[in-house]
Amino acid sequence: MGKFEKQAQELLDAIGGKENISAVTHCATRMRFVLNDDAKADKKKIENISTTKGMFTNAGQFQVIIGNDVATFYNDFSAVSGIEGVSKEAAKSAAKSNQNVVQKLVGTLSEIFTPLLPAIIVGGLILGFRNILEGVQIQALGQAVEDGVKKFTSEGVPVWNTITQVSPFWNGVNGFLWLPGEAIFHFLPVGIAWSVTRKMGTTQILGIVLGITLVSPQLLNAYAVNGTSAAEIAKNWSWDFGFFTMDKIGYQAQVIPAMAAGFLLAYLEKFFRKYIPEAVSMIFVPLFALLPTIIASHAIIGPIGWKIGQGISFVVNTGLTSSLSWLFGGIFGILYAPLVITGLHHTTLAIDAQLIADFKSTNLWPLIDLSNIAQGASVFAIYLLHRKNKKEAEISVPATISAWLGVTEPAMFGINLKYVYPFVAAMIGSGVAGMVSTLMGVRANSIGVGGLPGILAIRGEDMLKFILPMALAIVVPIILTFFFRQAGIFNKNDLVGAGDAAFASDPAILEGAQKIAKTEIPKGTFATVTSPLTGEVRVLATATDPVFSQGIMGQGVIIEPSEGILTAPFDGVISAFFPTKHAVGLISDEGVEVLIHIGMDTVKLDGKGFEAFVKQGDHVKRGQKLLTFDIDLIKNEGFIVETPVIVTNQDIFQPDAVGQLPRTIKSGEQLLTATKI
C-alpha cells in the first residue's frame, strides 16, 4: 500500500471521480488538474483530506496544494485512479480551453518568465550581496581611501568607507561577482528569446542565437546610448547599406524587444516548415526564419519595442516618484496580492526589468517584496489565533516561512483566502508599507529575491530606510488580523480545519472563560443542560464536520432540528454572538461553557434566514428564546442544518449525554449533564 493511497483515493472521489479529470500533472508542491466540470469538485471534502494544504483555480487548472511530498502523492494517485499523468505542457494546453483571452496572454507571459526565475533569483542574490559590499559603510580606524588606495590618517581618526574600499579581498570578490550578474541581467534578452522558442515548441538554439544578436559586443551597449550623441551613433555605431543606414544599438536587459523578436522567429519557423520540403528544411527553415528576424529586430522591432518599454517604465517610475507617489505606492501595495491570484503579477517582472534597464534601479520591486512579507505576517497571526489546531499549524507555519522567503502561494491559497479577513489585513498592511517605502524613495538594484531576504536587493543607501517599511508590513497585518477577527470585520468564514469551529476560541468566549476560571468552582458541581432545540439528538461522532465529530472543540451531541427556534439551555450569559447569527456561545451560572452551532458552513449565509432576540453580554434564563432560523431556506441554499451542542471547557466539566441516542427530543428537555472535575 502506498504512503498516500488512502488520501489519494479520497481526493479522487472528492474531485468528481476519474471521469471528471481531463488531465493531471504536478509541480513542486501542487497537484494540477484540468477538470471537465470544476463544479463537481467538493472543496469541503478536499480541504478535509489530511495531506491537503489548500486549493485554488488558476490559468484553467484546479490546483491542490500537497507540499514537498507531492511527487509521492502523485504516484499513489496515478495508482488508485488508473490515470497516467501528462506533461506540464500538455496539462497547460488542455487548460487553455478553460481560459479567456486575457488569461491566455498572462499565461503565456508566465510561461516565458518562469523558466528564467532560477537565474533571476540567483542574480538578485548576487547583486544584493554586491549592494552590501559597495553600499554598506563600515568604520575603518585610521584608514582613509583616495583613488582606491588605502591611506592612514595621522590623527588615527575613524573613517567611514565601504567594504570594497577597505578590503582588497572583498573588492576582488565584488568585481568577480559582476561576471554572473552581468550574464544574467545584461544578457537577459538571450534567455527571453530562448524561453519564447521553448514555449512555442520551435528550435531553441535559434532563439539563443537571436538573443545573442541583440546583445552582441559589436553593438553599442544599451546602457551607453543615453550618453552617446546622435552624431556619434551615426558615425561610429551604424551599418551603412549605401541607400540607408541602421543603428548598431544593443538591447541589453530589454524585455519587450526580445519577446517580440522571439515570437516573430517562432512564427516564421512554423510558417516555413509548412511549405519547405523536409529534405531541405534543415538548411532553409533556419535561414529564412532567423535572418529576417534579426533584420526586423534591429530595423523595426527593437526601436519600437524599446520605446514601448521606456514608455511603460517612465509611467511607472513617474508615478512612484511624483508628488502622489505615496498614493501610487499604497494602491499598488494593496492590489499586488489580488494580481497574484489572477496571475497578472507576472507582468511586473517585465516592468521591473525594464525599470532597471532604463534607470539602473527599480522602485516597484520593494513594493512587491513588502506584499510578500505582509501575507506571511497575516498567516503568522492566524497561527497565533488557531495555534491549538494541529492540522492548521502544519499549513500556517510553513506558509509563514515560505512567504517570508518570497513564495506567497501557500500563505495566500492555503490560509488567507480561506478566511478572507487575514488576506484583507495583509493587503492593507502592504499598502501602508508601500506608501512609506515610496515616500522614502526606496529603490532596488535587482529583482528576484523576495520576502525578508529581499532587503539584499535594495540599494545600499536605502537598506536601513527599508527596515521601517518591512516592520510595518509585519506589524500592521498582525494587528489588523487580530482586530478584524474580534470585531467580525471581513470575517464571515473563520474556520478551523474544515468547519468554522474557530468561533469557540473567539476572544469574547475566552474572556468569559477567564472570568469563570478566576471563580472557585467546587469539585463535583453538577449542572444540567437542557435541549435548546426540538428534533432528533444523535451522538457527536456522527457529525459531518470532523472538527466536531472528533471532539476537537469539545464533547456533546448533535441535534437535527425539526423546528427553527433556539432557546437557552440554562441560566447564564451570552458570552459570544457571531454577527452572522449562526452560532452562540453561553456560560452557565455554574461555569459550564456551551457552543451551539446551527448548521454546517451556515456562516456563508451572512445572517440570511436568522433572527436574533438577544445580544452578546445578555443574561438569559433557561428556555428563553435566543433566535429563530429558517430550516427550509438553509437546506435550499445547500447547507446541512445539523447543530452541535458541545461543552467547550471539558477540561473543567465532564459532559454526559442523557438517555439513549439517537432519540427524539423537545426543547427544554434534559439533554446533558456536566460535572465539575
| Residue 570, all three cell numbers | 440554562
Closest CA to 269 of 365, 197, 180: 197
b/e burial code for range 81-104 (CB count within 10 A of at least 16 → b): beeebbeeeebbebbbebbeeebe
d(CA 74, CA 51): 12
| Residue 147, all three cell numbers | 583613488
Residue at grid coordinates 501595495: 333
Burial class (CB in 10 A: 0-12, 13-18, 19+), 372: buried
| Residue 282, all three cell numbers | 534543415
Amino acid letter, residue 244: F
Catalytic residue among 27, 246, 393, 405: 27
Closest CA to 478 of 404, 388, 583: 404
Q: What is the 3-state secondary structure (H, E, C) of 37-68?
A: CHHHCCHHHHHHCCCCCCEEEECCEEEEECCC
DSSP conformation letters of 376-402: HHHHHHHHHHTTT-HHHHHHHHHHHHH
| Residue 159, all three cell numbers | 573613517
d(CA 78, CA 85): 7
Residue at grid coordinates 535572418: 291
Closest CA to 396 of 412, 420, 372, 407: 412
d(CA 75, CA 85): 9
3-state secondary structure at position 138: strand
**27 is an active site residue:** yes
Cis peptide before 561 (omega within 30 of 0): no
With a CB cutoff of 8 Å and minimum separation 6, the contacts of 586 are 568, 569, 570, 572, 573, 574, 575, 593, 594, 596, 620
Q: How far is CA 425 from CA 344, 394, 459, in A?
A: 21, 22, 28
Amino acid letter, residue 177: L
d(CA 10, CA 45): 8
The residues that are catalytic are 27
